Amino acid sequence: METGLKGLEAVLAIARRGSFRAAALDLGMSTTALSHAIGRLEASLGVRLFNRTTRSVSLSDAGLAFVDRIGPALAEIRGAMESAQSLRSTPSGLLRINASVQAGREIAPLVVDFLRRYPEMQVELVTEGRLVDIVAEGFDLGIRPADLVPRDMIALPLGRPQRYAVVASPNWVASHPLPRTPADLRPDDCLRVRLPNRALFPWQFQRQGESVQVEARGRLTLDEPAIARTAVLEGAGIGFFIEQDVAADIAAGRLIRLLEEWTPPRPGFSLYYPGRRHPTAGFSAFLTLVREAATRGGAQRG
């Protein structure tokens, strides 16, 4: 029976994503080709691995047992391949990175520099709001705010410290009292932000050791910073953003910054990864580049 590693990886991808379409995108193949590959594998095994309907895909009992067995086996195979690749001096292969949108912007220049230095390398940078299990979802590295990095991961500081910015449009400011402290904020004027875990984001302020939290109760709730920025530009109310997302608008006068003294710098992003015994040459080269960038940034700030 001929069953390639790609076929087994396809099974794990569908089980992980719960969708042929999403798994096909992850694997860089068409949904039709993926469906045919799974069909051939099921025919060769003589069992159905997935229960399919027009709306959902789920593992059958045989599929659950199959995934439980092949998951650890494929992890061992990947480890053996990485061990072999680590002996190669020239970085090559694919590096998969998962990041938030803001962290993706932070790392993008380094990724371009990395590809320029190592022409045999490829990088897949996936940005999403939710905090994923990078090991379970097949990523080599993750990038998130330092305080969100899982404790069992190795972390490296990345980029400059972050800061929040409270902003409103000039028209909104002209027709409303200007808040001098967080206590002056009317919660009903504050746009609500829903986090990837579905919780509502609390507005946190700090000045000279004093901490204040405001629960936004505006009529508009959003979960995408770019849409929230547009709403604030249109005068929908006061927004709470990571500074870099609205810095250009503040500089151009399209948005007015409020309560700046109440938004001190906070820890920046961290690049993180699980401990691995045999890192590939490409993986090690990327970490070296990140460390070099961090050293340069520290020297410039000093």
Cα gap 239→192, rounded to integer Å: 8
pLDDT digit string, tens, across residues 181-195: 999 999 999 999 887
**pLDDT of res. 142:** 95
Residue 141 tokens read as 């590295």
Phi, psi (deg, nearest 5) at residue 56: -150, 160
pLDDT tens-digit map of 68-101:
888 888 777 777 776 666 555 678 889 999 998 8
8-state DSSP, 28: T
Instruction: Retrieve residue 209's tokens.
Output: 């050791």
Residue 118 pLDDT grade (very low, low, confident, very high; cuts 50, 70, 90) = very high
Q: Taking all residues of the chain, what is their mean pLDDT, rounded to a whole number? A: 86
- Token pair 């015994």: residue: 277
* pLDDT tens by residue, 121-159: 999 999 887 788 888 888 999 999 887 888 889 999 887
| Segment 49-57 mean pLDDT | 82
Q: How far apart are CA 220 and CA 88, in angstroms?
A: 54
Rg (CA), the chain: 23
User: Which residue would you say has higher pLDDT here, 216 or 27?
Assistant: 216
The domains found in the chain, sorted by start residue, are: 5-85 (1.10.10.10), 93-157+268-301 (3.40.190.10), 164-262 (3.40.190.290)
Residue 297: pLDDT over 70: no
